[in-house]
Structure 1
Amino acid sequence: MIKNIVYNFANKFLSKNNDTYFVNSILRKYKSKSYYLTLYLNSDENKKEYTNINIYDTNNLKFGITYREAKKKIAYKDSVVKKDLVNSLVLIKKTTVGDYPTKLVLHFYKNSLFLFNYTFSNLDKNDKNSIKKILKEKYLNKNTQFDFSSQTILDHAGNYIVIEDDVYFTINYLSSKHQFFKLLNEEEIELNKKVKQNSELKKIELRNKL
């Protein structure tokens, strides 16, 4: 009996530690604007496949809803809330999709949902293919030629579905027309202008000195 108690305690301890590591790994991605900008630009540059189905979660997590509204739509218990960027907030909720354990991650800017995703830690190739197949069946009328590695699903409102398959398998649902991505895009354009101006000034300075 003592062995069973020790065994159960050890399992719970390891499970909790693994889960904490998983959550911290997820949060590290979202500490800077560069991740969001890269996700947006890659989504925008990929080849688009249009869908007639509205892109949003089965919990009816429509883009633009507030943090308070989102909490009502999901079971808030056992969630993790994190603030890193100014005016932004990340909410992580442990859940399941089908039989797959996952983390539902909601991203808010100025109290408005602009991105949410499901992040899976332990999927094999067959699991990933099964999920991709379901997405194709739901949004693309079973389009078997669609390639998630180089293509983006887009609905009539400018919402994207993008898959990241690296350390973890992540299904991103993002609103390309949200003010957050518009702001990032404007900042990137302004930064590129400054870089170009500095480059021209250095050329002029070099030309004058030679």
Structure 2
Amino acid sequence: MIGVPAGQVTLSDRRTRRSWPVEVAAYELAAFPVTQETYEEVIGERPSAVHGDLLPVEGVSWRDAVRFCNALSLREGRSPAYHLDAESAEWDASADGYRLPTEAEWEHACRAGSDGPRYGALDEIAWHGGNSAERIHDVGGKRPNAWGLHDMLGNVWEWCWDLYDAEAYGTYRVLRGGGWFDEHWSCRASVRRRSHPTFRIDDVGFRVARSLVR
């Protein structure tokens, strides 16, 4: 886990053409997306289409990701961040357990103090459609950003906690970061994608965050 400092990030929405600043408190974020090896250790399953211990786990839904967060928290003796039932999930902000980053936390961490579309030259920092040979790659194979976070762009899209646009898309959740099959324009810090929280897709994974609870 990497300590991410407090800061501010500006989010935007293409449909409504509005943007808004978000204050982000300090928190911790995993240096890498969750790997298949770690997911299997915690959940006992390996759902991915292509297997490899250090490949990012993919083919996991948003619901799978939040269940993983709770299971990892319990395994380490931490309080679970989510209260789950068959239809909904509530976030307990006072919990010290693992969770998904918010969309603002994700973008703040991805930028790592930079203000351009990417935190470095794309081929140096990301596996994308132009250099991946149309396959997923082990985590950590590309240069990290200034805060030590790898694969924030490319390789797999990452689930975030937030609803994408409840008015237009209901329960669909936010995806960030771009993936191994995407064109270069998708692998930018500000690009948003959405998916239903029960869908499992072969270029979508996640990484875990943790609040700094006093």
Instruction: Give the structure-2-normalised TM-score.
Output: 0.27
Larger radius of gyration: 1
Name which structure has the greater RCO, CA cutoff 8 Å, separation 6+: 2
Higher share in helix: 1
